[in-house]
Chains A and B, each alone.
Chain A
Amino acid sequence: MANYQNIARLRPEVRQFIRNRRWVHRGDVIFYGPNIRCDAFSTDAGGFRHSRLGEETLSVADCVKRDRYGLVLGPSSVYGFGLAGNENTMPSLLAERFGFPFANIGLPEGNSRNLFSILLGLIARAPHPPSAVVHISGGDFTNFCYTAIADPMLGSPNLKQIKMVLEERGGRPPAEQQMPALLAFTSLWIRAITELCAANKVPLVLADDTTFFEKPEPSAIERESELGKPFNAAQERQFETHKRFVVEYHTRRKAVAGKLGVPLAGPGKTNNIGFIDEFHYDAEGTRALCNDFGNALEPLLK
């Protein structure tokens, strides 16, 4: 993604994320490395980034022990790749606003099926169900853009399976043939998350998350970071797929949210927020998004 040499020069704190990036399997699902501690961020024993409430640093396990807690489900943008300070991530900003902790359930390319599984496990095992859930399904789409492969029930292969999967198929299928499967996948599992929250009377907001590609005009630092410029053939394909299908993806997500009667918050198809790389928000961008999520959540919490 992007020109990471430039990014690391312009934003030195990003170096720590690159240095400490480690993926670990839990079952067939890729998680971040557990128990990482560096100046820019830290993760808990499950590989989830710590969130903050006031002066407290909280693991997922800490959050779910509380009488009142929220969950933010999503991909690496929720984890806050490149965003220094656990207190600057989405869950911490929502905690600051609402006064109770939000756990950071951000996985690498976290897709809705895997996030549903975590939510089901937490609801089944935690002493209380969450008081609020924000679900960001953008990982369904970005994962698809990496691979150009999707299954209507099981989504796209994970980051470590791509090579194997392409060998099985004798190459990469045309992305447009796979797009209906992606739309079916994201609809199925957004609906499953919504139904699970409804069954447990948990207020839910769906996020209309966005990327650099939907931004009409880059900022000076984004231009210097060469965001949007592919550096190899794989990125060229990935970026092309993203640009080509993003409207279709957003349109489907909006339709699903409308059908389910769940608020959809965020800038949607266009945005004017700041990015570190094409897919990860900077501190101001994260705060702007969280304002939208918080505004949608607030009436549900009253």
Chain B
Amino acid sequence: MPKTRPGKPQLPIARRGLLVGATTLGATVATPHLVRAAGEVTLRFWTSQGAPVQMAAWKNIFRRFEKNHPGFKVAIELYSDDDLWTKLSAAFAARDLPDLISYVQAYTVATLAAQDLVEPFDDVIKAVGENDFYPGMRDIYKYNGHYIAATYNNQTSSNLWYRTDLLSLAGLAPPQTWDDQLKAAKAMTKGTIYGNSLPYGRTSMTSTMMVNFVHQAGGLVVNPDGSVGFGSPATIAALEFLRAIFPYAPPGATNYSWGEVLNSFVTGRAAMAPYTGRPIGIIAAQNPKLLDHISVVAYPWRASGHPAFDVPFNSLFIPKGAPHVAAAKELAIALFQKQNYLEFLLTAPGHNLPSLKSIAAAPEFWSHPLIKKFRPQVELMIKNTAAGRNLVKETDASPYNLKAGDIFNSGVLAETLQDVVVNKLPPSQAAARGADKIANLLKA
């Protein structure tokens, strides 16, 4: 019989037993999840496209894939643009990677490629049809002689959406140059309507547009020789234009990103706004009275510059360390199959543009009622998107910029614009400051 201290109450079980029990419980809780379902492989698919209509499309597509690939199931896992890096970092650190990731922009893929974190994707490109891709959309992911991803769909925000009724009321033609746009913005700012919506926030849309403005002014962020081009007179001209047109933007524009810019245009509070083809679907669904009063042109450019179109190259890629690489490639190939591809593209008509020429020519693509109604505009956006570039490869002569993601994610491009409109720095000083920051990023 165990001895106990006199005067102390006795526990109903021995203390040693309690300790053993507690230790066992602790060990059980801490034990990793060891039990795995047998006989079925689950492919984890990451996407940021989780609107109800898109989820329905994904489910249909994956149901077909599962039917054609017995033994496989596809699980959809959503991420948002804001938490992508956090999720990716955690996934890589824990070696708990998804099999296929979709809708990640070229900047991000470049950052991953720089650290050898992407699987080769040549098999997929070849199976889909190397020559069927628009060359720019295919080659943006050619790195060290291999394809590392595929552009699943694409769009450019370098379009200027405008209100046809307000512009004709002002007696003006659709703007072609920055001077035209400034004149139109002034003329259409009246009462509760702002002439021109633009993102001036420290946001991804502002950074995207800044790359575009620098290109339209005839400049580059990084020169083909690897030196910084951002401090050039072209950047200064872009900042001067953006400062001049700022008073005609809604008062909250210094916090604007994608959502706010879109909202200001589709609700009729802004007469002009840059965006992809998304306003078509949103206006049709939520503000149909505007549907006959909108149109789009290529985003105006500096008179001494040239048209330029920034595109994200929304990708499909397999992260290095993914558990089922071969099956993930099968899934990627299936996503490009005509029925599947069209079903996804048409979830956002006019916004999701194809990266395959055969799909851009398919009658089924053009038979969607909204695409049919806006056919000239969608054709224009496809043409401009096919000519699009971004910071990863600014010119044909530019090498693959593995620091593009670092530059983009640092926010330096948006910060430079904010230095001008929020901190009231002269454009030349802001551009020089931005160039210094970019130089440091390139050196790091």
Binding between chains A and B: no
Query: Contact residues of B with A, CB < 8 Å?
Result: none
Query: Contact residues of A with B, CB < 8 Å?
Result: none
